[in-house]
Structure 1
């Protein structure tokens, strides 16, 4: 979106509308390597002295910042040296983080120094009135410190503050953002936000820009639950660690309910009450020492509250889960689900994942390379984080209702998730509330895809309960319904199209842990003396027994299929593949019997066919358990035709119509009938 067809230099416009609020991000990167101060402190100083595009002025500004930091920044290991300097010189300037408390017994305000280690230092009330953040967690400041020891007032600190100047944003005028936003086009504003995170938007695909913005939503939206899994080195945790002083990155994963939610002994709320966003790095390592930890987390993610003891507490912190996917996405889609990297106690719990509002596809974001890092102007970290915090007080959750209705496949949790994502992205892109219907539609489509990605995985984990994944929205004006799809779904089916080899057959069955899996059986017939050799079975006794049942039935009944089958002059080699890695099934006898006949006759089974059902030694067919879920697994695997025992006809009423239209059911009355139907013999 160009501004009236004229290309403006964005850096000049940014410095025009946000003078002193922006910094050249490459300066931050080079300075950060030399001084171990928070990024937001460094950028505030750079914003003061280097907010220009004049090269000479920038160089002078950098020298000034270096000088200020080297002379005045208090390193914790040099605290005693600095205190001595203040005493010996009588007055000295320092840079430190100051927190102020009211001492009601003395009726004075007292400051505590983070690195200098001083506390109880009196501070003038006018500083507290002017910079109220001193009372709310503290701010970094440049201070002139005086020293005077009075024998008469031994209980008073000899240190005092004669001058204080914040080097963080002491307060935030949100109107400044609203006004400045009017001067930039949508594209320019998005580019400015992305540069503020340190990345260069001109090097990014359009969908990647949206993903970077989505990473910011937990910082502007209360109680927003987001998950991002992807390859290493894509900057998943950078924003929560470096960009905002209002978010915390929990590394290592080990945590306690007391630390995260509420400490019963100290009666203090944990991290969710102290931070705007709590991000968990490396989800695979998340562990709670308390048995009820995950349950409390689930309650909090659903309602923003949690019960401990007799009390119920509320908090507004958003939850972010970031982690690595070590396999390709195609492999995960085929063999498992996209939540697989989570620890086992979470990955088997569909209710936990149902509370995630958006699944950000980290595999679509490129790995960090030098050209992806910006050398242009972006907001000072402290300024943008205060903008984010201010926007948490506002909401746009009902905005989409003005233009659109959500389709009937979205349940209440889906609706909440989509509305929260829409609200968060509006706060970021249109903070002044100036947008049109097309703007909201663009955001809505993106929000629906992120929630549908969650639902697609829930369908794999939880079965029919989460079947409704055909997300759509309806235009209130035209009543036209539009559907959204998830890019990675639908590709790479387990059952390929086209005719397979003779002796190859697919089946669906229940594994030992109750999950429904897809299995491929490959049979080969060679010259021999009637031996049956199995591979891929390992030590699974029940699977072996089911395969042996099929071979015994085959030796006794092969002539009922074809007189040309000669068992005593052949050996039968079989290999089974557990395509989803969930463990073998004992429901293999019918499929293996068909596979043996197919290999013996050198005739392939029908295209895209899968077998349901099992039998005992005598060939009696057994009922298919969880019939509707089995049909769903068949469809997800790519089957077009499903061979079904006739006894399951009554179970068809449990299968949704939209699932049934995707398959051609073929019924068989006994194992030999199953062979003829599978081979397409009338």
Structure 2
């Protein structure tokens, strides 16, 4: 269906509920107000497809904004107008605080710059969001100056009306949805957020839909990291009057959860969605802040004082990835941009229901913004809010069941994502097997992305990442992967150069890293030169151990090796940037022999294990985790000390099948097996 036909259908089915999005863009450029404020006014005066009526409505909205909207630089002019007229209506963001000394509520006006303006308690009781972050309103302000009350402000609030839809008929949406195909409805939803779907790939459309899930699903935890300029925070700041964007990162438990002194619930109790902009800056002034946040993200409740509080707000974390995706996948994990106190906290990240790959969303260009029809933002925000009361979490059970690699948290995450997307796409509950399968695959992918990173941070505890679902009719099992997985392996396929060896070992930090040793043999007098070590004494000593063993035992390996007429040059690369290891002696001995004999190590092989000066082989610590790192790095074969055979029982079977273990009994045996010499 063409865009013109879709516009016509939308106006027919949802008459008065849609607006042409270029009108919003047109006025938005001249007035710094959220989209939902503009579209609330356009919905009142320009919700039609009659061009003449639209132009009249636009002029009226412009007049209202020019007369009543307070621009910060014209605040004094508006104050003067209120004084001269005695009463005047304005559009501004209003925040209210309780002044206990005067026992009254007082309003603060964002753009007008007024503070301490008395406001009747009935407005505060009716619209409690005034107390938490504030809301945009049409406000009638009175001015009365009393000479006897010199310390009292002459301004007071006479009337207040939040800029939000007064009511919502859900049957209108359910019935209207029947007139659209799935593809048309997706385009309508995306246009309603201001984007032009015809300029976007299908996968990007799904990502944009997922940004809306926290607005329709209770207690949904989502993370989106990606490049700058992809509109990550736009939805939460501009599109919904029911979500709040916490900028700057720093927050307090009192502000976010519960204020013990005023006994007031924080943002999570007053908004449908709390989004944190720039995750790198998230900081709690309270020591227990992150712990309370983890508790809330897991259960939707938190303990403050003597009682437990519950809330339904979703939590969204958006931020920038400053380095290339490839280097982040190779050297770290995709949660790395989070602050240090969170970056290695697996319990925190395990509560994420979805990781949206922000790097797949293109940077915003003018042609990505639509000038076609979409729902009035306030109308769609109320639709989202009503859908929060329903659940579609069991919609997969009719046709599918989840695979056994998903634990309870995985299952909850997948079901919540499915529920949210089903509410958006099929609010009337009418869908096919193919529809639910498509949503399920997308939901599994985002939760698996979380689990992949947890495995990198936490090791074997999070081994079960092979997410799947089973068709109840055919009992076939389908596995779901993530696109960025598998690319850019640290250990390339194919035979390497003689003298080149890959080794996996523990860095000083305890993390397990992948290293490459490059050995070169040149004419000389038997010197051993090492580079890439920095000041790491343990690595230097381990390499020297290897060279001493090599010079003492080279003849038992091959008579052709000369240690007196050759110099041996070695360079080490820390492939993941986590610091060097001192578990290098066996691997370097293999590298020296490989270079001297001009015989490469076996294809895609990694060496693990270490030895002393006397040739005693050390046991491999955290054997299962070390093996997991080998597989993740792209190893096909792993050379393992025979003493680690007993540890094979600690390795999950589906990890063992991915790699060929080759056991060595002593240092010389390790050389022969690495070089494929029987």
TM-score by length of 1: 0.91
Match of 1:493 in 2: 489
1:613 has 2:609 as partner = yes
Please report how far the alpha carbon of residue 71 of structure 1 lies from its aligned counterpart in structure 2 after TM superposition: 1.7
CA distance in 1, matches of 2:67, 2:309: 45
Contact 1:139 1:170 in 2 (8 A): no
For 1:352-400, what per-residue CA distance to the aligned partner results, in whole angstroms no more than 9, with x for missing partners? 1111110101111111111111111122222221211111111111221
Sort the Cα spacing of 1:670 and 1:87 in 2 relative to 1 into closer, same or farther, 3 A: closer
The Cα RMSD (Å) is 3.0
1:33 has 2:34 as partner = no
Count how many residue pairs are aligned between Structure 1 and Structure 2.
Answer: 667
Gaps of 5+ in 2: 99-103
1:442 has 2:438 as partner = yes
Q: Quick one: which of 327, 332, 347 aligns to 2:343?
A: 347
Please report how far the alpha carbon of residue 141 of structure 1 lies from its aligned counterpart in structure 2 after TM superposition: 5.6
For 1:260-316, what per-residue CA distance to the aligned partner results, in whole angstroms no more than 9, with x for missing partners? 222233332222222211111122222222222222211111111112232222111
Q: Quick one: which of 310, 315, 320 aligns to 2:316?
A: 320
Contact 2:243 2:273 in 1 (8 A): yes
CA distance in 2, matches of 1:636, 1:229: 22
Sort the Cα spacing of 1:77 and 1:496 in 2 relative to 1 into closer, same or farther, 3 A: closer
Contact 1:132 1:170 in 2 (8 A): no
Match of 2:512 in 1: 516
For 1:573-602, what per-residue CA distance to the aligned partner results, in whole angstroms no more than 9, with x for missing partners? 111111111111110000000000100111
- Which segment is superposed worse, 12-21 or 566-575? 12-21
CA distance in 1, matches of 2:148, 2:676: 106
CA distance in 2, matches of 1:183, 1:317: 32
Match of 2:473 in 1: 477
1:627 has 2:623 as partner = yes
- Which segment is superposed worse, 485-494 or 615-624? 485-494
CA distance in 2, matches of 1:543, 1:217: 49
1:504 has 2:500 as partner = yes
Q: Quick one: which of 359, 362, 365 aligns to 1:363?
A: 359
Q: Quick one: which of 301, 304, 307 aligns to 2:300?
A: 304
Contact 1:99 1:135 in 2 (8 A): no
Match of 1:396 in 2: 392
CA distance in 1, matches of 2:234, 2:325: 23
CA distance in 1, matches of 2:49, 2:602: 70
Match of 1:105 in 2: none
Contact 1:121 1:157 in 2 (8 A): no
For 1:552-573, what per-residue CA distance to the aligned partner results, in whole angstroms no more than 9, with x for missing partners? 1111111111111111211111
CA distance in 1, matches of 2:136, 2:506: 60
Please report how far the alpha carbon of residue 213 of structure 1 lies from its aligned counterpart in structure 2 after TM superposition: 0.4
Please report how far the alpha carbon of residue 663 of structure 1 lies from its aligned counterpart in structure 2 after TM superposition: 1.3
For 1:632-658, what per-residue CA distance to the aligned partner results, in whole angstroms no more than 9, with x for missing partners? 111111111111111111111111111
TM-score by length of 2: 0.91
Sort the Cα spacing of 1:544 and 1:144 in 2 relative to 1 into closer, same or farther, 3 A: closer
Contact 1:218 1:224 in 2 (8 A): yes
Match of 2:647 in 1: 651
Match of 2:54 in 1: 58
Please report how far the alpha carbon of residue 111 of structure 1 lies from its aligned counterpart in structure 2 after TM superposition: 10
Sort the Cα spacing of 1:364 and 1:547 in 2 relative to 1 into closer, same or farther, 3 A: same
Match of 1:188 in 2: 184
SS of equivalent residue, structure 2 residue 456: helix
Match of 2:450 in 1: 454
Please report how far the alpha carbon of residue 99 of structure 1 lies from its aligned counterpart in structure 2 after TM superposition: 8.9
Match of 1:592 in 2: 588
Sort the Cα spacing of 1:640 and 1:167 in 2 relative to 1 into closer, same or farther, 3 A: closer
Q: Quick one: which of 229, 233, 240 aligns to 1:233?
A: 229
Gaps of 5+ in 1: 103-108
Please report how far the alpha carbon of residue 459 of structure 1 lies from its aligned counterpart in structure 2 after TM superposition: 1.1
- Which segment is superposed worse, 382-391 or 74-83? 74-83
CA distance in 1, matches of 2:580, 2:105: 68
Contact 2:117 2:157 in 1 (8 A): no
